[in-house]
Structure 1
Amino acid sequence: MGVFHDLSGSCKKMPAKLASDGKVEYQIALDEHSFALNDCIGKTLKITFPGAIHCIACGKKTKKSFSQGHCFRCMKVLPQCDQCIMSPERCHYFAGTCRDAEWGERNCMTDHIVYLANTTAAKVGITRASQIPTRWIDQGAEQALPIMRVATRQQAGFVEDALREHIADKTNWRNMLKNKAEPLDLEALRDQLFEKCVSELAELEDRFGADCLERLSNSTVVTLDFPVAEYPKKITSFNLDKIPEAEGVLQGVKGQYLIFDTGVINLRKYTGYNLNIQVLA
């Protein structure tokens, strides 16, 4: 059996971009090496984990990965691992207790987008404006619609908090991997949510200023086409911490998941893991 690609190194989140025709194009990245993944659909991939994990921030060896690739110490002290990253409404920058104020200014005190996405069901989410469409790709969204622009991550969190009283804010990853999403009318859903949350949004405008919430009424729905040849009927997940090898015919890539005929693996979960990845004929 021939080998098309054979890479070893520290695993990174799969780089991806949205082409002009709506197709999502992926790469596998280990250290500074990478290869195009879409062309590997239908080929056998073998992933091996020899056992070493290094923190993506400080580089030190760690027995366990925290917060997508960090050692325990970095998880406890770095701003990108703070509780407010998962719960933006709990931002404490203005209390003067941000773990790194300069990092907060670059990443949190900047324009954020509130959006609707279709990941086989409608959901609301937020992301930095600079992370569109990367955030939608990582979530496996087949449709996405920006609905509001705000000045800070905390404000985006408050808007999301109001909207999620009426819509989910989580992706059912199993459903996302098992099915292609049925198209939804996200523009109509946006209008319904704004109508239901009139008082909550007005309170935020009173608090932060009348122009703090920019409604993106002219935005259009973005459609994403993931490279999936066949969806699995049953979801079985590989766990490299328990069995340090995953192998199968690559049937597709969606979100940060590789879909094999033998199971699925969330490659982002293994950020910082030293892996060997082979693509076989």
Structure 2
Amino acid sequence: MERQGICHKMHAALLENNVTDSSLHQANVEYKFNLDRTVVDLPFQLGQEIEIEWTGKIYCVSCGNATPKSYSQGHCFKCFKTKASCDLCIMKPETCHYHLGTCREDSFAHEVCFQPHIVYLANSSALKVGITRLGQMPTRWLDQGATQALPIMKVGSRRLSGQLETMFANEVADKTDWRKLLKGQAEPLNLIEIRDQLVERFSPKIQTIREEFSQNLEFNEGVELLENEQQRQFIYPVESYPEKIKSHNLDKTPVIRGVLQGIKGQYLLLDTGVINIRKYTGYELIIRAE
């Protein structure tokens, strides 16, 4: 079987009809490819020999033009320099500058930045704190390969969520160690207990941030503690984890082959190495299975 198209990050979802234990909110993760912005079934399964070929072509995910190089996950240089989705505040939301009148795209701010956001705890390679738009749960956790996740706060803007994430990052990592992620399961954590400890520890600072943002009358940027949320657990389709991590690079080796041993986060785990599919957003790929 063969699939060809412009690559976007894999589509990850929960198999709700195959919940392992509803009392634990535990569910299996299912993956599909996103080629030419169309979600399609994977042309292979675990244990199969697969081949991924880059045709040498890259197309900007924003304007659609051909580009010799990809910037900021699939953009041409012009879009990279002009689109709000490529601004520094996407990576560091606490640096959002809309309130200073310097946002690149007003419409983007209203559609993305001033939507409800969740501050969460997750366990992928270890404990981390993160943020995501309300509508991106559980996608954000699955893209990061988290085996556990717990929403802890709901807020009214991306900048506010970034302020809280930065605050918690003084105690909890805000990055995932991708090598540890791909070497096996992280040790289980009691995220509810950790949440309670963090909220108590940072209570004065949370109140200060809440008061600061409540002065913005244009947008509802309140802070809501999610005390009744339950911990989620996710099971990924992995038969075996690699003992050593070797990363495939299509820019250097345009054709890679290997037996698929698992999928976690945005990574395919092959017996010849791992490949981050999201890294090749905008690349035209041909995927073949024996």
**What is the TM-score when the length of structure 2 is the normalising length?**
0.92
Corresponding residue of 1:134: 139
Decide whether aligned partners of structure 1 residues 241 and 179 sit closer, same or farther in structure 2, where only a CA change above 3 A counts.
same
Give the structure 2 partner of residue 145 of structure 1: 150
Alpha carbons of structure 1 residues 160 and 41: separation in structure 2 relative to 1, 3 Å: same
Deviation at 1:199, TM superposition (A): 2.1
- Evaluate the alpha carbon distance shift between residue 33 and residue 130 of structure 1 in structure 2; reply closer, same or farther with a 3 A threshold: closer
User: For 2:124, which of 109, 116, 119 is the aligned residue?
Assistant: 119
Alignment partner of 1:203 is 2:213: no
Q: What is the aligned partner in structure 2 of residue 182 from structure 1?
A: 187
1:97-108 equivalence runs, <5 A: 97-108=102-113
- The answer to whether residue 37 in structure 2 is matched with residue 17 in structure 1 is no
From the superposition, tell whether residues 105 and 33 of structure 1 become closer, same or farther in structure 2 (CA, over 3 Å). Answer: closer
Distance in 2 separating the partners of 1:128 and 1:160: 13
> What is residue 273 of structure 1 aligned with on the other side?
283
SS class of match (1:242): coil
Give yes or no for the alignment of 1:8 onto 2:4: yes
Structure 1 204/190 Cα, relative in aligned 2: closer, same or farther at 3 Å?
same
Instruction: Give the length in aligned residue pairs.
Output: 276
Matched, 1:240 2:236: no
Q: After superposition, give the CA deviation of every residue in 1:96-147 in whole Å (9 maximum; x if it has no partner).
A: 1111111110101010000000003100000000000000000000000000
- DSSP-derived class of the 2:279 partner: helix
List alignment gaps of at least 5 residues for structure 2.
20-26, 216-220
State how far apart, in whole Å, the 2-side matches of 1:200 and 1:54 are.
45
Q: TM-score, structure 1 length as denominator?
A: 0.95
CA distance in 2, matches of 1:104, 1:208: 16
Cα distance in 2 for residues equivalent to 1:103 and 1:208: 20
- Aligned residue for 2:247, secondary structure, equals coil
RMSD, aligned α-carbons: 1.4
- Taking every aligned residue pair, what percent have the same amino acid on both sides? 49
Q: How far apart in 2 are the matches of 1:141 and 1:39?
A: 23
Map Cα deviations across residues 139-172 of structure 1 (whole Å, 9 max, x no partner): 0000000000000000000000110000000000
Question: Structure 1's 225 and 165: CA in aligned 2 closer, same or farther, altered over 3 A?
Answer: same
Q: Which runs of 5+ in 1 are unaligned?
A: none
Residue identity opposite 1:277 in structure 2: I
CA contact (8 A) 1:38 1:227 kept: no
Q: 2:233 aligns with which of 180, 201, 223?
A: 223
Quote the offset at 1:37 in angstroms: 3.3
Per-residue deviation, 1:212: 1.7
Contact 1:68 1:270 in 2 (8 A): yes
Find the partner of 2:93 among 88, 95, 106: 88
Using the TM superposition, give the Cα deviation of residue 16 of structure 1 relative to its aligned residue in structure 2, in angstroms. 1.3
- Cα distance in 1 for partners of 2:74, 2:286 equals 17
Which whole-Å CA distance do the structure 1 matches of 2:61 and 2:232 have between them?
32
SS of the equivalent of 2:260 reads strand
**SS of 2:182 mapped into structure 1:** helix
Write out aligned runs for 1:150-165 (5 A): 150-165=155-170
Answer yes or no: is the 8 Å Cα contact 2:43–2:287 preserved in 1: no
